[in-house]
């Protein structure tokens, strides 16, 4: 959808500067024993999954303000994902959300192949009512007091697995909004037991080579209590289900001030870390673009992950999970993929042997300075060179804008009018 000639023309204007910056950085890194080409290869090996629904403009309970050329179908969304990957070479897979993305599997596979994409973890949805389902999820789904409603929710998850197996997916992410808005509304212990019981039904239907991700969230849409409110509850869930069950950490689903990288470390210790939903936030589950609010926090998470590379059994699934309310979603997703990649490369620069030495000597000052030195290294030339060599864009956003893609799809896709959020 983005013509190669456009990318090449755009890259041509930036190549010389890139080579100069890359060489200067390479020389500098070499003084600390770092091979820049090795870093570039790490960057090239990086990929994060894009959520199909993230290609549409998001909103809040107050309002949603759609942009031009909103994708109307999963095929539109896959086209947009294709653009993201084409320009960044860092987002080679897509995470589908059922029922929003339901379509004939063969058509989905064909479109994905056309766009050079794979299908990552499947996402079920029991936080909304589905037109074709007889029972409402207003008061819960997998943990509902009513057995039939729970069964309906289990069935939906099994269908997600079924769809996913046809698409080459190998994981199911379960996030539910079940909880309560008032003290006393639910019996929190029995509700958790009902949840676990439903999850066991789903787990039974999980193919041997699949994984099931349990995702916690502190609050919203439930505002007093949530069934899987923190990593402790997620851990209990994964422990009770079995080896194929892992915990998924969404960066925006925590209490204020919480040390997320420590949770990452604990889940690695427990053998239960399964993956991430990347985004950034300042207040609650703000779902802002990854790396735009607290970039050092993102780096510290990656510092744990790079450190843990090679841990037996550690296999991580990385996905973006954001809401784009005031930007072009394609641009935000490209920026986010690159910010995540940036943190990964920066974390890869940490001299772990030196760091371990400082840690052993309790040299807190030099240990923390070691991390900061890696973080403040401007690895942009590494990321640009990785893209350039892959045929992607040195500057994806400006290349995208130069391509006229958004205007083109705006002329092809149906216009969407603004709408209120859920508040009224």
Of 269-288, binders to its own copies (CB under 8 A) are: 269-270, 281-284, 286-288
Minimum CB distance to its own copies smaller for 376 or for 408:
376
Region near its own copies per CB under 8 A, out of 4-12, 154-162, 187-195, 407-415: 187-195
The site that binds its own copies (CB under 8 A) totals a number of residues, namely: 125
Position among 63, 110, 148, 407 found at the interface with its own copies (CB under 8 A):
63
Minimum CB distance to its own copies smaller for 210 or for 406:
406
CB of 385 to its own copies, least distance (A): 15
Is 353 within 8 Å of 307 (Cβ atoms)?
no
Is 152 within 8 Å of 134 (Cβ atoms)?
yes
Residue 380 binds to its own copies (criterion: CB under 8 A): yes
CB of 329 to its own copies, least distance (A): 10
Distance CA 165, CA 107 (A): 15
Characterise 102 by phi-psi region: left (phi > 0), alpha (psi -120 to 50), beta (else).
beta
Distance CA 163, CA 360 (A): 50
Position among 46, 119, 192, 213 found at the interface with its own copies (CB under 8 A):
192
Q: Which string of x and - marks every residue 101-140 that binds its own copies (by CB under 8 A)?
A: --------------------------xxx------xxxxx
CB of 295 to its own copies, least distance (A): 5
Report the relative pairing of strands 211-215 and 245-250 from DSSP bridges.
parallel
| Cross-strand pairs, 172 | 122, 212
Position among 22, 213, 231, 278 found at the interface with its own copies (CB under 8 A):
231
CB of 113 to its own copies, least distance (A): 25
Position among 256, 310, 312, 414 found at the interface with its own copies (CB under 8 A):
256
Distance CA 14, CA 20 (A): 10
Residue 419 binds to its own copies (criterion: CB under 8 A): yes
**Best CA proximity match to 359, nearest among 348, 368, 349, 347:** 368
Residue 308 binds to its own copies (criterion: CB under 8 A): yes
Residue 263 binds to its own copies (criterion: CB under 8 A): yes
Apex 41 CA angle, 38 and 43, nearest 5: 115
**Best CA proximity match to 347, nearest among 357, 339, 337:** 339
| Cross-strand pairs, 249 | 276
Residue 30 binds to its own copies (criterion: CB under 8 A): no
Is 261 within 8 Å of 297 (Cβ atoms)?
yes
In this structure, the number of other CB atoms found within 10 A of the CB of residue 38 comes to: 11
Is 391 within 8 Å of 89 (Cβ atoms)?
yes
Distance CA 91, CA 318 (A): 10
Region near its own copies per CB under 8 A, out of 80-88, 200-208, 227-235, 408-416: 227-235
Residue 177 binds to its own copies (criterion: CB under 8 A): yes
In this structure, the number of other CB atoms found within 10 A of the CB of residue 21 comes to: 17
Residue 17 binds to its own copies (criterion: CB under 8 A): yes
CB of 368 to its own copies, least distance (A): 4
Cis peptide bond N-terminal to 99, omega within 30: yes
Residue 20 binds to its own copies (criterion: CB under 8 A): yes
Minimum CB distance to its own copies smaller for 203 or for 302:
302
Residue 215 binds to its own copies (criterion: CB under 8 A): no
Minimum CB distance to its own copies smaller for 208 or for 360:
360
Residue 416 binds to its own copies (criterion: CB under 8 A): no
Residue 15 binds to its own copies (criterion: CB under 8 A): no
Minimum CB distance to its own copies smaller for 317 or for 377:
377
Residue 201 binds to its own copies (criterion: CB under 8 A): no
Position among 186, 290, 317, 399 found at the interface with its own copies (CB under 8 A):
186
Residue 259 binds to its own copies (criterion: CB under 8 A): yes
CB of 292 to its own copies, least distance (A): 5
Q: Please give the torsion angle defined by the CA atoms of residues 134, 419, 76 and 93, in that order, rounded to the nearest 10 degrees.
A: -80
Angle between helices 295-307 and 329-348 (to 10 degrees): 50
Cis peptide bond N-terminal to 360, omega within 30: no
In this structure, the number of other CB atoms found within 10 A of the CB of residue 200 comes to: 15
Q: Which string of x and - marks every residue 335-374 that binds its own copies (by CB under 8 A)?
A: x-------------------xx-xxxxx-xxxxxxxxx--
Angle between helices 295-307 and 364-376 (to 10 degrees): 110
């Amino acid at each position: 959808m983005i013509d190669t000639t456009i990318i090449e023309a755009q890259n041509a204007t930036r190549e010389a500067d890139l080579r100069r910056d890359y060489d200067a950085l390479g020389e500098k890194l070499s003084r600390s024993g770092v091979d820049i080409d090795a870093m570039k290869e790490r960057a090239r090996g990086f990929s994060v999954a894009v959520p199909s629904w993230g290609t549409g403009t998001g909103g809040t309970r107050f309002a949603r303000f759609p942009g031009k050329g909103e994708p109307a179908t999963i095929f539109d969304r896959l086209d947009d994902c294709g653009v993201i990957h084409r320009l960044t070479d860092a987002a080679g897979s897509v995470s589908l959300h059922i029922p929003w993305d339901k379509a004939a599997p063969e058509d989905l596979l064909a479109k994905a192949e056309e766009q050079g994409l794979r299908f990552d973890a499947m996402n079920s949805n029991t936080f909304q009512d589905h037109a074709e389902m007889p029972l409402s999820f207003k008061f819960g789904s997998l943990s509902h007091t009513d057995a039939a409603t729970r069964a309906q929710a289990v069935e939906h998850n099994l269908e997600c697995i079924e769809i996913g197996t046809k698409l080459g997916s190998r994981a199911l992410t379960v996030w539910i909004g079940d909880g309560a808005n008032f003290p006393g509304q639910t019996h929190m212990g029995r509700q958790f037991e009902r949840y676990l019981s439903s999850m066991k039904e789903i787990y039974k239907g999980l193919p041997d080579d699949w994984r099931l991700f349990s995702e916690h969230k502190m609050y919203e849409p439930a505002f007093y209590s949530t069934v899987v409110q923190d990593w402790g509850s997620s851990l209990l869930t994964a422990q009770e289900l079995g080896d194929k069950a892992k915990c998924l950490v969404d960066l925006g689903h925590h209490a204020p001030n919480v040390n997320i990288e420590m949770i990452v470390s604990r889940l690695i210790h427990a053998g239960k870390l399964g993956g991430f939903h990347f985004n950034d936030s300042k207040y609650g589950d703000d779902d802002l673009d990854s790396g735009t609010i607290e970039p050092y926090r993102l780096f510290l998470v990656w510092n744990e992950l790079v450190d843990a590379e090679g841990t037996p059994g550690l296999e991580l699934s990385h996905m973006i999970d954001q809401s784009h309310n005031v930007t072009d979603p394609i641009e935000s997703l490209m920026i986010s993929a690159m910010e995540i990649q940036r943190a990964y490369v920066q974390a890869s620069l940490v001299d772990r042997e030196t760091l371990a030495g400082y840690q052993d000597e309790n040299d807190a000052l030099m240990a923390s300075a070691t991390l900061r030195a890696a973080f403040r290294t401007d690895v942009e030339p590494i990321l640009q060179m990785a893209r350039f060599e892959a045929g992607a864009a040195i500057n994806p956003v400006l290349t995208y804008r130069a391509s006229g893609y958004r205007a083109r799809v705006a002329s092809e896709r149906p216009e969407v009018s603004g709408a209120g959020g859920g508040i009224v």
